[in-house]
Structure 1
Amino acid sequence: MELKNPYLFAILIQIIQVGMTLFTKAAFNGGMKSYIFIFYRQMTGTIFLVLLTAMFERRSTTPLTLLVFFKIFALAFLGITLAMNLYGITLLYTSASLVSVTANCLPVTTFFFAILLRKEKLNVKKITGVAKLGGIAICVGGVATLAFFMGPILNPPFALHNAQHEPQHQHHVSTFGSTKWIVGCFLSFFSVSSWGLWFVLQAGVLKIYPSKLHFTSLQCLSGAVQSFFVAIAVERDLSEWKLGWNVRLLAILYCGIVVTGVAHYLQSWVIAMKGPVFLAMTTPLNSILTTIGSMFLLGESINVGR
């Protein structure tokens, strides 16, 4: 399966990620536990990816060594198990718009790890290097301002899924600016940092194991196994694992098939073609669309800063 337009697919990935944030927040507002949700989405994604792999890469696989599998397993822990569980806690503690705003640090963390691992170069004696440093400063400053300073509130005129009536949302409003909100901001940054390192390390593994569907499937399966043990350790009440015909199931199907199955596969292609920093640079689009969506679809109030 060859993809030819990295710019188009990078934008498509961000649009898909917007849906992930909104669906996930809606499921959490409905009372679903984040650890269980992550396991279900990973299992759904694994099943979908295995079917795709059987159709398109059955005979074009690269030999899988034990060392490569270990690297893929470690990548799954970093970018799926760790990052997604931190992301889930952040959504519970804060809001969908805040999570999307802190995601704007992804270009910064990705660029930092790319420099640290010598995947990118920074020359402060050139105008391009100064521009990069200036962009980093503006990015971090803007995210910090939006995360920690509360200004006028914009209430949505209408919402398709009114989160104001959800008990989880009421809890969220009472903790804005409190310890939980601040903890959520820091956890969101750690999640983004984990994703940034994940992007950079994926580029190296894809060079030695270029079968992208197999690569994505193995990552997804590894993440599902890891997420199961995390979920079963935290939540042993079997009633919490039951699914019904509601927003929880819809969120799992969307995040499992569209995000884990489609977006992660496209992501591996974009990283292989243009590098991890290129993909991370498209994340500001995510925050704009998520802020609009969380206001009109979830009924979240939006702070506009001081």
Structure 2
Amino acid sequence: MVDGTKRPYVVAVAIQVIYTGLFVVSKAAFDSGINTYVFIFYRLTAATALLLPLALISSCRRRSTTMATPEPTMSCRLVFKLFLYALLGNTFTLNVYNGSLKQTSATVGSAATNSMPVATFLLALLLRMEAVKVRSRSGLGKLVGVALCVAGVLVIAFYAGPSIRPLAHHPIFAHKPHSVSNSAWIRGTFLLLLACATWSLWIVLQVPLLKEYPNKLMATAMQCLFGALQSFVVAVVVERDFAKWKLGLDIGLLAILYSAFLGTGALMYLQAWCAEMKGPLFVAMWSPLALVFTIVCSSFFLGEAVHLGRYVIF
């Protein structure tokens, strides 16, 4: 059993492991040709199919237990708030992020998440959810951590260092590489940073949301449901050829199942729980760990030649 004081740290590491798998399988699916907007719709639909029944069963059990705390009510104002949060954290963030991931690499996608501690820190300061005491060790630690994250993002985005050969000669998910122009790579990198910023805002907003509505499972399920409906509208507008919506027994289906059950359902629940326990900045500060994992896994499974970064030519 994990001690209660150590549990948030174990959960934070588990979140980064899930992220690593999400980066790798999603990039492999996009390289195989699946439409990113259709992918997001299937991902959120599958996550809703998993989480919503569990949330309803959990709510029914809470109501049948007389000793349990009263079940919070789902007001119209709360439903509208969940709809907006789903639009921000699911529909917008996931579609922008995955569309940009297709133009770059799994390693760059993971590296972009290093900007999340910076964005989360600034947002938490603006909303007075975090305080910095410069003269204290904790305050200095936060500032140093933010500075390192900024430096890491700049290195990945602007510096092209020596390449690292793939760890596997015959990667499992390797596909024929497609050429990406330098401008597309730059655009994709900055859109990844934008998606990470909106995801940071979503993490920060979960703290007051869970104080208003403590049922984390139902809140997560409702956001997945609204996100699936919103993403369906986006996918229909972008991809009207429904023949391309068909799924087969390939990496696309594997990526959808993984991203739905772990990358959306479990990840959103664990991040909301961790943010409630230790604050939103604590969740975001662990994101550099996923970069280390992704460098190894993308090289081994995707056959990517990993670089320290790329020159950005304006």
Shorter-chain TM-score: what band? Answer: over 0.9
**Which letter does structure 2 place at the counterpart of 1:39?**
F
Partner of 2:24 in structure 1?
22
> Deviation at 1:305?
4.9
> Deviation at 1:127?
5.1
**Which letter does structure 2 place at the counterpart of 1:19?**
G
Structure 2 Cα separation of the partners of residues 268 and 126 of structure 1: 28
Work out whether residues 148 and 182 of structure 1, in 8 Å CA contact, stay in contact via their aligned partners in 2.
no
Work out whether residues 155 and 308 of structure 2, in 8 Å CA contact, stay in contact via their aligned partners in 1.
no
Work out whether residues 145 and 285 of structure 2, in 8 Å CA contact, stay in contact via their aligned partners in 1.
no
**Greater CA drift, 130-139 or 194-203:** 130-139
Matches within 5 A, 1:53-202: 53-60=55-62, 61-126=71-136, 128-158=138-168, 159-163=170-174, 165-166=175-176, 169-172=177-180, 175=181, 178-202=182-206
Work out whether residues 133 and 139 of structure 2, in 8 Å CA contact, stay in contact via their aligned partners in 1.
yes
**Greater CA drift, 29-38 or 132-141:** 132-141
> Deviation at 1:125?
4.9
**CA shift in 2, pair 1:236/1:64, >3 Å:** same
**Greater CA drift, 118-127 or 79-88:** 118-127
Structure 2 Cα separation of the partners of residues 80 and 201 of structure 1: 13
> Deviation at 1:170?
2.0
**Which letter does structure 1 place at the counterpart of 2:113?**
A
Give the 3-state SS of the residue equivalent to 1:216 in structure 2: helix
Matches within 5 A, 1:250-269: 250-269=254-273
Structure 1 Cα separation of the partners of residues 299 and 203 of structure 2: 30
Structure 1 Cα separation of the partners of residues 186 and 235 of structure 2: 24
**Greater CA drift, 67-76 or 203-212:** 67-76
**Which letter does structure 1 place at the counterpart of 2:50?**
F
Give the 3-state SS of the residue equivalent to 1:89 in structure 2: helix
Give the 3-state SS of the residue equivalent to 2:60 in structure 1: coil
> Deviation at 1:126?
4.5
Structure 1 Cα separation of the partners of residues 134 and 282 of structure 2: 20
Give the 3-state SS of the residue equivalent to 1:198 in structure 2: helix
**CA shift in 2, pair 1:157/1:6, >3 Å:** closer
Choose the corresponding residue for 1:279, options 260, 283, 288: 283
**CA shift in 2, pair 1:80/1:30, >3 Å:** same
**Structure-2-length-normalised TM-score:** 0.90
**Which letter does structure 1 place at the counterpart of 2:304?**
E
Give the 3-state SS of the residue equivalent to 1:170 in structure 2: coil
Work out whether residues 159 and 308 of structure 2, in 8 Å CA contact, stay in contact via their aligned partners in 1.
no
**CA shift in 2, pair 1:286/1:183, >3 Å:** same
Give the 3-state SS of the residue equivalent to 2:72 in structure 1: coil
Give the RMSD, CA atoms, in angstroms.
1.7
**CA shift in 2, pair 1:151/1:209, >3 Å:** same
Partner of 2:213 in structure 1?
209
Structure 2 Cα separation of the partners of residues 234 and 170 of structure 1: 22
Partner of 1:294 in structure 2?
298
Query: 2:222 matched to 1:218?
Result: yes
Give the 3-state SS of the residue equivalent to 1:171 in structure 2: coil
**Which letter does structure 1 place at the counterpart of 2:105?**
S
**Greater CA drift, 271-280 or 42-51:** 271-280
